[in-house]
Amino acid sequence: MAQTAPFATGIALAAAASPASDAGPDRRDAAIAAFREVRRETERRAAPLSAEDQVIQSMADASPTKWHRAHTTWFFEQFLLVPNVDGYRPFDQRFAFLFNSYYVAAGPRHARPKRGLITRPSAAEVAAYRAHVDAAVERLIADAAPASLADVLKVVEIGLNHEQQHQELILTDILHAFAENPDSPVYDAAWRLPGVGARDTRGFAPIPEGIRTVGHQDKSFCFDNEEPAHRTLVGPVGIARGLVTNGDWLAFMADRGYERPELWLSDGWATVAAEGWRAPGYWRQGDQADGDDGGWSVMTLAGLVPVDPALPACHLSYYEADAFARWAGKHLPSEAEWEVAARGNELDAAFGVVWQWTRSAYAPYPGYRPVEGALGEYNGKFMVNQMVLRGSSCATPRGHARASYRNFFPPPARWQFTGLRLADFPA
């Protein structure tokens, strides 16, 4: 399987799958086609996994593949079908409790750390649930009254983007589970982390001082946390054109980076001590590795492979990214600095390789208002104790990356495809 095949939806939701903003005669057909393609991509990502693989939950922050497949289906049932289809009967009344995630307004839910205990319904029953809801959604799109079609398609669009987020989680969560298996299972033997691009990745792209507009700035889809667009002072600063590599990280480790408290934030140093970190997530020493890299290997979706010094460093926490920047005598960029550089096409591998940590805390933009109702719980209530990442990763579905996208995770998290690039300020 080629590297890009399992990670591409083949559809750009901002265009072909942006039915809420499309007033053309093929509006319904475009929405149905987009819906089918995104739903199929979820099943393509689950296809290499056995029923046993699909039920495992290796930590509280991860979820079983079966749960992801069911939860994204519940989302369409709960927020699209129930409000818009007269007399609609849910596929199974139990599923709302089992597969709600954190939507308090939508009702009670099963505890997140216990999702791996849900052996029933089976993976086959979840497949039947998906088929049932898929058919109902397609009928609704085809038959909705013209006066209500725009509202229907708006929820479809949100649901598709939501499902694409879970498609990424299917891969990151199963990688964490496989990394806990001493046999180092293979998800896709042909999988490779993309390398750096063909552009010159040396040096720093200068961003002169100025007031810039950041945030979502057109009529294509975005999540509410990307708005409103607003003006902010940026620069002067230089943003590294290239990502930090495994070779760079090996130098950090060789210089006792994990043993030097002066490099670390207090919480980060406490985490290093508590977790015993001495290398990035999924790195192992002395397992099936050779070469002059210290005998390090890394668990990937292709199984355990030698660490390649030329590839971007990955599976790093914010704490590690911050410590590395301090060791290098540099900084992490703010999310505004990153966005300005990305919009100016100054960055190599800004998208599709690793998410990049910024030094920005995840907080609302000036004037931010969440959408009304239960869907307003999607982003706003998490705006505390998290740090912002920008770009996208190799697990992000194609068409689901943009300069204004704001990903966010707590500082210790490193099971995602997370890396960094540096920032430098003039003396």
Burial class (CB in 10 A: 0-12, 13-18, 19+), 420: buried
Instruction: Specify the pLDDT at position 286.
Output: 82
Instruction: Specify the pLDDT at position 294.
Output: 64
Q: Is the pLDDT of residue 290 over 70?
A: no
Which of 49-63, 173-187, 291-305, 306-320 is the least confident region?
Answer: 291-305
Instruction: Specify the pLDDT at position 13.
Output: 35
What average pLDDT does the structure give for the chain?
Answer: 91
Q: Is the pLDDT of residue 407 over 60?
A: yes
- For β-strands 230-234 and 210-214, DSSP reports them as antiparallel
Model confidence at 106, pLDDT cuts 50, 70, 90, reads confident
Phi/psi of residue 131, nearest 5 degrees = -65, -40
Q: Using CA of residue 356, residue 357, residue 358, residue 364, what is the dihedral sign?
A: positive
pLDDT in tens, 6-25: 333 333 333 334 444 444 45
Instruction: Specify the pLDDT at position 370.
Output: 86
- For β-strands 210-214 and 418-419, DSSP reports them as unpaired
Q: Are 9 and 37 in contact (CB under 8 A)?
A: yes
Around Cβ 210, how many Cβ atoms within 10 Å? 12
For the question of whether the overall pTM of this predicted structure is more than 0.75, the answer is yes
Q: Is the pLDDT of residue 249 over 80?
A: yes
Q: Using CA of residue 198, residue 201, residue 202, residue 205, what is the dihedral sign?
A: positive
Nearest to 18 by CA among 149, 182, 153: 153
Residue with tokens 């609302």: 364
Rounded alpha-carbon distances, angstroms, from residue 196 to 318, 321, 423? 21, 18, 18
In the predicted model, what is the mean pLDDT of residues 96-108?
Answer: 86
Q: Are 75 and 164 in contact (CB under 8 A)?
A: no
pLDDT in tens, 197-239: 666 678 999 999 999 999 999 999 999 999 999 999 999 999 9
Rounded-to-integer distance, Cα 36 and Cα 123, Å? 20
Instruction: Specify the pLDDT at position 14.
Output: 37
pLDDT in tens, 13-58: 333 344 444 444 589 999 999 999 999 999 999 999 999 999 999 9
Q: What is the 3-state secondary structure (H, E, C) of the chain?
A: CCCCHHHCCCCCCCCCCCHHHCCCCCHHHHHHHHHHHHHHHHHHHHCCCCCCHHHCCCCCCCCCHHHHHHHHHHHHHHHHHHHHCCCCCCCCCCHHHHHCCCCHHHCCCCCHHHHHHCCCCCHHHHHHHHHHHHHHHHHHHHHCCHHHHHHHHHHHHHHHHHHHHHHHHHHHHHHHHHHCCCCCCCCCCCCCCCCCCCCCCCCEEEECCEEEEECCCCCCCCCHHHCCCEEEEECCEEEECCCCEHHHHHHHHHCCHHHCHHHCCHHHHHHHHHHCCCCCCCEEECCCCCCCCCCEEEEECCEEEECCCCCECCCCCHHHHHHHHHHCCCECCCHHHHHHHHHCCCCCCCCCECEEEEEEECCCCCCCCCCCCHHHHCCHHHCCCCEEEECCECCCCCCCCCCCCCEEECCCCCCCCEECCCEECCC
In the predicted model, what is the mean pLDDT of residues 177-192?
Answer: 97
Around Cβ 299, how many Cβ atoms within 10 Å? 22
Q: Omega of the bond prior to 6 within 30 degrees of 0, cis?
A: no
CATH number of 204-424: 3.90.1580.10
Paired residues of 237 in beta bridges: 207
Q: Tokens for 152?
A: 């229907």
Instruction: Specify the pLDDT at position 275.
Output: 97
Q: Tokens for 72?
A: 């994204």
Around Cβ 2, how many Cβ atoms within 10 Å? 11
